[in-house]
Structure 1
Amino acid sequence: MKDFALIGAAGYIAPRHLKAIKNTGNNLVAAMDPFDSVGIIDSYFPNADFFVEFERFDRHIDKLKRKEKPIHYVSVCSPNYLHDSHIRFGLRNNADVICEKPVVLNPWNIDALQEIERETNKHIFSILQLRLHPAIIALREMVMNGPGDKVHDVDLTYLTSRGHWYYTSWKGDISKSGGIATNIGVHFYDMLTWVFGDVKQNIVHIHTHDRASGYLELEKARVRWFLSINEETIPEEIRNLGKRTFRSIQIQGRELEFSDGFTDLHTKSYEGILSGEGFRIGETKKAIEIVHDIRHANPIGLKGDYHPLAN
């Protein structure tokens, strides 16, 4: 049994990490979040110590280390812009780190963290759960086993409604979240490069507060992508069903069915990490480079090969 600490216990993604820690037979010793709406902890680790001030959390973890009861892993579920700092905290306390995506906001942050990995002899892992999805694995195998010169036409659409609260929270601040492409799209870009290879061209058509769209040319794919948090972009027939999220990947005009199969992918991620087969921080760099370039690109408007929903 390994002892865990978790940073960001009140966040949306934290319950998946709590469940994964529990399901893999490990123990949460301490958790931290400046917000105290963390009753979900009782469902998994009611005896975990909880802190709302990072300084007291830091002192507690240090005391455990000095009492020879060190934390083995730190799970980072905090806001995107704090990941870098919280990862460093874990490494400095001689713990391996499991971090939600995006692991950092800028590619050069990865280089600096890898240097600290070498100094501490500890590792940073990222949650890249789409790589564990059966349909995505099958797609990758199809592409890898297909003709070497085959270039696929891909349309990626991800629409997930967010209310007014989004713009007041850190997620609505591009300096903290990285913007739409980073906050809701980074795992898709990771999946696309994992399946179709390196980036050859990255064009942004539109990029506003509630949507972004562009064109990615990869080694084995031409990808038109569209992301939005505006409910009005969701197809009417989907909205009429009371659904607020729509995701679609079309390859050569055919839909890739991957709406199911997401159950327990965080647990599978933890199982891989604990068995020494997790995704190291270096594997996240391609996707971080993509979202960084999107964030700093000058949108060209509706020119060239753009996604139909961009219009």
Structure 2
Amino acid sequence: MKRFALIGAAGFVAERHIKAIKETGNVLVAAMDTFDVMGRMDSYFPEAEFFTSEAELGQFLKQEKEKGEAVDFVSICSPNYLHITHIQLALKNGCHAICEKPLVIHSSDLEKIKQLEAESGKKVYTVLQLRYPPAILELKNEIDAAEKKHFDIELQYITSRGKWYYKSWKGDVEKSGGIAMNIGIHFFDMLSWIFGSVKQNSIKLFEATKAAGQLDLEKARVNWFLSLDCDDLPHEATAAGKRTYRSIKIEGKEIEFSGGFTDLHTVTYQNILSGNGFGVEDARESIGLAEGM
């Protein structure tokens, strides 16, 4: 059983991490968030310590290590711009880190992380869960074996957001990295993992709520569209009462991979704990792409 701490416990994605820790048979011993109403903890780890500052958590990690009960991993679900700070907190206290996407919003910070890994002997893992759906794994195998060397792809990801979004850190480009970094990076990672490295990315539209462009990869040309605007949802989505729409078409054929979407963090943790997680270099391609937009 591994001992975990978690930073950003009140955020939307944090519950998927907490659930993954539980489902992989491990224990959350401490959580931290500046927001102090944390009822969700009671459903998973009611005995976990809770802190509202980084200093308190850092002191806890230090004390546990001194007692011979070191925390093994720190899961990081904080706002994007704080990831590098919280990675430093984890590694400097002798813990591995599991960090939500994007690992960082500036490529230069990847070198800082590698240096921290070398100094601490600890590892930083990133969450790239769209590499795990069975349909995506099957697709990668097909592309790797295909005689055809170049494919036409259409990507649409529309995840409508309310007015709160634009007043939060997510709506601040300096804190989130912008729409491509905040909601597009998993798809850019998945596509470059399957179809090869980026050759060129031509931006056709880039606004606060939506972006579009043409991405040239080694084995594909991708016309992509990202949006936070509910007016961009197709009729079939709105008719079904859905506020999110994901679509990837390869040579006009839809790739369906929505099933089990919320369980992919548990798969991510299983792979990390078995020694097969993704690290700094795995994140570099998509971060560099999103950062340049």
Normalised-by-shorter TM-score class: over 0.9
**2:222 matches 1:223:** yes
Q: Residues 98-117 of structure 1 correspond to what in structure 2 (within 5 A)?
A: 98-117=98-117
Quote the residue 1:300 is aligned against: none
Quote the residue 1:52 is aligned against: 52
Say whether the 8 Å CA contact 2:5–2:29 is kept in structure 1: yes
Say whether the 8 Å CA contact 1:213–1:227 is kept in structure 2: yes
| Secondary structure in 1 matching 2:261 | coil
Distance 1:180 1:16 in 2: 22
- Give, in angstroms, the shift of residue 212 of structure 1: 0.6
Specify the code of the residue in structure 2 equivalent to 1:199.
V
Quote the residue 1:234 is aligned against: 233
| Secondary structure in 2 matching 1:200 | strand
- Give, in angstroms, the shift of residue 67 of structure 1: 1.5
Say whether the 8 Å CA contact 2:16–2:262 is kept in structure 1: no
Indicate the larger mover: 262-271 or 115-124. 262-271
Quote the residue 2:203 is aligned against: 204
Note the residue ranges of structure 1 that are not aligned, 5 or more in a row. Answer: 295-311
Say whether the 8 Å CA contact 1:154–1:250 is kept in structure 2: yes
Say whether the 8 Å CA contact 2:192–2:285 is kept in structure 1: yes
Note the residue ranges of structure 2 that are not aligned, 5 or more in a row. Answer: none
Quote the residue 2:185 is aligned against: 186
> Where does structure 1 differ by over 6 angstroms across 4 or more consecutive aligned residues?
none
Specify the code of the residue in structure 2 equivalent to 1:164.
K
- Give, in angstroms, the shift of residue 261 of structure 1: 3.0
Quote the residue 2:31 is aligned against: 31
Distance 2:258 2:14 in 1: 22
Distance 1:241 1:134 in 2: 25
Say whether the 8 Å CA contact 1:134–1:261 is kept in structure 2: no
Q: What is the TM-score normalised by the length of structure 1?
A: 0.93
- Give, in angstroms, the shift of residue 263 of structure 1: 4.1
Deviations 1:56-113 (A, max 9, x none): 2221221111112111000000000000010011000111100000000011111111
Aligned identity (percent) is 51
Distance 2:37 2:175 in 1: 22
Specify the code of the residue in structure 2 equivalent to 1:23.
E
Q: Residues 16-95 of structure 1 correspond to what in structure 2 (within 5 A)?
A: 16-95=16-95
| Secondary structure in 2 matching 1:35 | coil
Quote the residue 2:289 is aligned against: 290
Question: What RMSD in Å do the two structures reach over aligned CA positions?
Answer: 0.9
Specify the code of the residue in structure 2 equivalent to 1:112.
K
**2:139 matches 1:139:** yes
Distance 1:263 1:179 in 2: 23
Specify the code of the residue in structure 2 equivalent to 1:271.
Q
Specify the code of the residue in structure 2 equivalent to 1:163.
G
Distance verdict in 2 for CA 1:216–1:245, change over 3 Å = same
Q: What is the TM-score normalised by the length of structure 2?
A: 0.98
